[in-house]
Amino acid sequence: MDQVEEIKQKVDMVELVQEYVPLKRAGRNFKGLCPFHGEKTPSFMVNPELQIYKCFGCGEGGDAYSFLQRIEGMEFGEALQTLAKRVGVTLESYRPSGTEEVREKLIGINTLAAQAYHYVLTKHKAGKGALEYLTGRGISEESIEKFNLGYAPDEWEFLTKYMTKKKHGTDELRRAGLVVEGRGYDRFRNRIMFPLANARGQIMGFAGRILGGEGQAKYVNTPETEIYHKSELLYGLDVTRSEIKHAGWVVVVEGEVDMIASWQSGVKNVVAIKGSALTDKQVEILRRISDTVVLALDADVAGDSAARRGIEIADKAGLMIKIARLEGAKDPGELAIQKPEEWKRAVAEAIPIYDFYIESAVTRHGLDVAGKKKIGVELLPIWANIFDEIVKAHYIKKLAEVLGVHEDDVRAQLAKIQKPNNKSTNEIQNSNEQTKKTRREVREERVVLMALLGKRTKELREIPWIKTDFWRRVVENINDLPGELKPRVQELLMTEEEFTEKKWEEAKDLLEQVDVEERLTGEEDPVKITSLTHRRAELTKDK
Ligand SMILES: [Zn+2]
C-alpha cells in the first residue's frame, strides 16, 4: 500500500471534519451543516467506514485530502504533509507538483522579504523614522512583533539587491509581486510594510502604507499573483482565529491598521478586508468559525452597493450581520487606539443590519408621505433578498410599524418586486442532479445500492438488465472496483437507507420494467412514463 493510501486510512475523517463543523451520528453516517455552502438543514454527510464526505446540497465530496484542499485552500502536497503529521507517518518520498513548487518558492521569497523589512524597521537606523511614526500613532511594540510589521527603505533596489544575495533573481521577485512589472525595481519604497498572511500564517503578499505626506497613494498592495488573491484574504486571521472561534462572532474592519488597533484594544476577535465588500470566499471562511459578523467599515454601508452585496452574501450563508456605529470617530483604528473602552462598547452594542437600514433610511428621508415612499423604494429590494423567512417576516412587520401602514401593504408591495426565481441553492442542485440522470440510470443505481447494502453482489452479477456503461462496469468489477469507479459508488453508499428484501425485489422489478419498455418501443430511455410504470410507482411508494 502506498503512503497516500496508508495515511488516508489512518485519518479519522469524523474527527478531522469536526474541527470545522459539528457532526451528529445519523445511522451509518455522521451529519452536519455543510461548510462549503450556506444551509439551515444538514445535508453534509461523513462516512467513517469509507473515510469520505459528501454534501447532498452542493455536491461537494471526496476524501480527507480533498477536504483539506477545499477547506484550507491547500495544494495536494500540503494536505498530504499535514495529514501525515497528524497520523504520525513519515513521508518517504514525495515529489511536489509544479504548482506546489511555485507556491512554496513564492511564499519563501515573501517570508525572506518580510524578515528584511522587519529588520530594517526594528533594528536598522534607516527604519528609525518609520518606527517613530508607528509608535506615535499608538501602535505598540508587541503589535509590531505579532504582526511582523516592517519598513521598506526609500531606495529603488533595496530588496532586489538583498534578494540577489540570497540567490533570488528579478524574475522570481516579479512573480511574487515585489518588483514592478517591466521596470525591475522595488515595488515598495518608503513604506510601512504589513505582511499579508493567510489563515495558516503563510505570507502571500504585502500592503505598504505611506508614512504620511501628500501626493502618493496611501496604500500600495501586492497585485494578484499566483498565490496572492485579494478576495480570499482575511487579514489577521492567522493570529485571531482561535479568539473568533471562542467568541463565536467576528468584527470585520477595513484595512490593516484598524485590525491591529482593535486587537491592541482587547477586541481580538477581528479581521480586516480590503474595501467594503465581503466576498464569497471570505464569507465561507468566516461562517465556519463564527455565526455573527459585526461590520465596522469606513464606508456608508446603507449607500455603498458593494458593501450591500457583501452583506447579502453573508446573509445567504446564514450569518447574522450587525453594524457597529462609531459616533464621532473617524475610523475604527482611531477609536480603538484613543478610546479603547468606547470601541469595545461600539462593537458590543452593534445593531442588526436590517434595523440599521431602517434607521438610516428614516433619518435620510423622513416620515412624511414622500419620505415613506422613498424608504419603501430603498428598502423593499433589500427585504426581498432576506434569505431566512422568519427574519424576513420580522422585518416586514417592523417596517410596517415604522411606516405606520398595515403589514399586508408592505407584503403586497414586496410581491411586486419579488424575483420569480428565488430558489435556494439546494433546490437548484437537486433538480439539476435529477435532470442529469436518465430513468434507467436512476434505477440501475438503485439496484446496485440495494445489492451492496444487502450483500447481494453475487445475485447482482446475474442481472442482465444493467446496461449503462458506468453501472455495467461497476457490476463486472464489483469485488475490486478500479479507482475511477469508486467515488460515485462510495457516494451512493452514504445514504441513510437500510436494506430490506422487499426494496431489493422492487428495485429489480422497476429496472426490469424500464428494460422491457425500451425493448418494446425500440427507444432507449423513453421520456414519457407509461401507465404501467406509473401504477408500479404508485404501488411501491412510501414503503
Ligand atoms: Zn454543501
Residue 208 contacts residue 157 (beta carbons within 8 Å):
no
- In 3D, which of 44, 78, 72 has the Cα closest to residue 58? 44
pLDDT at 56: 85
Bridge-based pairing state of the strands 320-323 and 351-352: antiparallel
Digit-coded pLDDT (tens) for 201-210: 999 999 999 9
How many Å lie between the centroid of ligand 1 and the Cα of residue 432?
14
**d(C-alpha 311, C-alpha 143), whole Å:** 30
State the pLDDT at residue 252: 97
- Nearest residue to 259 (alpha-carbon basis) of 270, 246, 274, 243: 270
List all residues 6 or more positions away from 372 whose beta carbon is below 8 Å from its beta carbon.
Answer: 365, 403, 404, 405
Q: How far is CA 529 from CA 159, 439, 534, in A?
A: 71, 9, 7
Enclosing H/E stretch for 100: helix 98-123
The pLDDT of residue 479 is: 81
Ligand 1 center to 52 CA (angstroms): 14
Distance 22 CA to ligand 1 centre (A): 14
Question: pTM score > 0.85 for this model?
Answer: no
CA of 342 to the centre of ligand 1 (A): 40
- Ligand 1 centre to CA of 535 (Å) is 35
The answer to whether the beta carbons of residues 61 and 35 sit under 8 Å apart is: no
pLDDT at 186: 95
Mean pLDDT, the chain, rounded, equals 87
Ligand 1 centroid – CA 430 distance (Å): 11
Calpha distance 55→20 (Å, rounded): 15
Total Cβ atoms within 10 A of residue 499: 15
End-to-end CA distance of the chain: 43
Alpha carbon of 44 to ligand 1 centroid (Å)? 6
Q: How many residues are recorded in the chain? A: 543
Nearest to 447 by CA among 429, 428, 467: 467
Grid cell in block for residue 293: 459578523
pLDDT beneath 70, residues of the chain:
1, 213-215, 419-436, 523-543
Distance from Cα 43 to the centre of ligand 1, integer Å: 7
Residue 406 burial class via C-beta count within 10 angstroms: exposed 0-12, middle 13-18, buried 19 and up: exposed
Beta bridge partners of 54: 45, 61
